[in-house]
Amino acid sequence: MAFAAFSTSTTAPEPAPRRKSPIALLLLLPGILYLVLFFLAPLVSLLLTSFQAPSEFGDVGQYSYAFRWENYVDVITAYWPHIMRSFGYALIATVLALVFSYPLAYFIGVKARPWPLLQSLMLVLVIAPFFISFLLRTLAWKQLLSDESFVITSLKALSLLAPDAHFTGTAFAVIFGLTYNFIPFMTLPLYTTLERLDLRYLEAGSDLYARPFDVFRKITIPLSMPGIVAGTLLTFIPAAGDYINASRDFLGGPDTQMIGNVIEANFLVLQNYPAAAALSIILMSVILVIVSIYVKRSGTEELL
């Protein structure tokens, strides 16, 4: 299962004890109940909704159960640019977050090892943005980067930016927002793997004629794969479905709408529930397929 990538344990799972304890089942019950109620039931409901057809004599927004698979064809033809854009933005944001986070995590987890206090301090700084709401932080960026903001006016005054240039409402701003918001999700799993990285492997690599870059490429990267996989999944999955950053109320514009925004609009504004449900199912399936292939390909099973 793809989500095994989130586990941080290094050892293979131990074989489950053979005797069945009623207490273990009892302890599992709340979790199972929760999943059935709040995951399985909504999922089934969503799936059923996605095949609904408009009620024959009903008002706008009234639907009845049917097997209208054409819903899927309709949404794909109508919204395929949004779908492509979502995964494109998510991919770019994930790569950027990885590029920013890896050196940071490497510094905290490897270079700062002799100073545990510095390590803790830097980790707190990475987590600190979580103390403020996701919405507020994104809104703050909108303020900072709006056309009348100090940053943009200064850049324009210095002729570093064309006088009619905008920042908010562009694809650049959306990707910037996604990258910024998901950097902690990338940094933390990377840190946990790099913190446990045995430096003796790096010494052995250097002893075997590997230049620093080769040591990094052939030893450090493969050994930190579990962190890279976990971090990219934690960034890519929510980023692909995100509708805050791309929203017109935040950093996005009419041309930067992602699939999340479309689903939101269909559910809340257009009241086209089957279309919204079908899009949700498509989003979920595509992510599941991408993630499965990714985890399989990255070959981290042995390192997890």
Partner 1 sequence: MNSGEFASAGADLELVGIQKRFPGFTAIEHLDLKIPAGSFFALLGPSGCGKTTTLRLVAGLEEPTNGRILIGGTDVTNQKSFQRPVNTVFQSYALFPHMTVLENVAFGLRRRRIDDPVAKAHEALRLVELDHLAARRPQQLSGGQQQRVALARAIVNRPALLLLDEPLGALDLKLRRQMQLELKTIQEEVGLTFLHVTHDQEEAMTMADTVAVMNKGRIEQMGAPEELYELPRTAFVANFLGQSNLFTGPVVGSTSEAISVDVAGQKVVVPAARAHRHIGEVTIGVRPEKLTLHVTEPVGDVARNLMGPGRVIDVSFSGVSTQYLVEIAGIGTLIVFAQNMAFGPVAHEGSEVWLSWNIEHGFGLEDDASAEPRFEADDTTRSIATQKRSSLLTELEGA
Nearer to partner 1, 20 or 200 (CB): 200
- Residue 110, interface with partner 1 (CB under 8 A)? no
Q: Name the burial class of residue 89, with classes exposed (0-12), middle (13-18) and buried (19+) by CB atoms within 10 angstroms of its CB.
A: buried
Residues 221-240 that bind partner 1 (CB under 8 A): 222-223, 225
Backbone angles phi, psi at 63, to 5 degrees: -135, 155
- Of 175, 169, 177, 186, the residue nearest 89 (C-alpha): 175
- For partner 1, give the closer residue by CB, 126 or 295: 295
Q: Report the residue number, 104 or 110, with the smaller CB distance to partner 1.
A: 110
CA triple 109-229-237, angle to 5 deg: 120
Closer residue to partner 1 (CB): 272 or 300: 300
How far is Cα 48 from Cα 293, in angstroms, rounded to an integer?
Answer: 27
Residues 276 and 117: their CA atoms lie apart, in Å, by: 49
Task: Give least dist CB 133 to partner 1, A.
Answer: 40
Total Cβ atoms within 10 A of residue 66: 14
Q: Are 55 and 62 in contact (CB under 8 A)?
A: yes
Min dist CB 299 to partner 1, Å, is: 8
Query: For partner 1, what does the binding mask look like between residues 197 and 216, x meaning CB under 8 A?
Result: -x-xx-xxxxxxxxxx-x--
Q: Considering CB under 8 A, how many residues would be counted as binding partner 1?
A: 21
**What is the closest distance, in whole angstroms, from the C-beta atom of residue 214 to partner 1 in the complex?**
6
In 3-state terms, what secondary structure has residue 299? coil
What is the 8-class DSSP label of residue 168? T
Q: Is 303 in the site for partner 1 (CB under 8 A)?
A: yes
At closest approach, how far in Å is the CB of 135 from partner 1? 41
Count of H-run helices and E-run strands, the chain: 13, 2
3-state SS string over 13-35? Answer: CCCCCCCCCHHHHHHHHHHHHHH
- In angstroms, give the least distance from the CB of 200 to partner 1: 5
Nearer Cβ to partner 1 (92/225): 225
Q: Given the complex with partner 1, which of 178 and 202 has the nearer CB atom?
A: 202
Nearer to partner 1, 229 or 239 (CB): 229
d(CA 46, CA 281): 8
Q: Which two tokens stand for residue 230?
A: 């976990």
Considering the complex, what minimum distance in angstroms separates the CB of residue 203 from partner 1?
A: 5
Q: What DSSP assignment string belongs to 98-133? A: HHHHHHHHHIIIIITTT-HHHHHHHHHHHHGGGGS-
Considering the rule CB under 8 A, would residue 14 count as an interface residue with partner 1?
no
Subset of residues 170 to 199 that bind partner 1, contact rule: CB under 8 A: 198
Give the interface with partner 1 as residue ranges (CB under 8 A).
198, 200-201, 203-212, 214, 218-219, 222-223, 225, 302-303
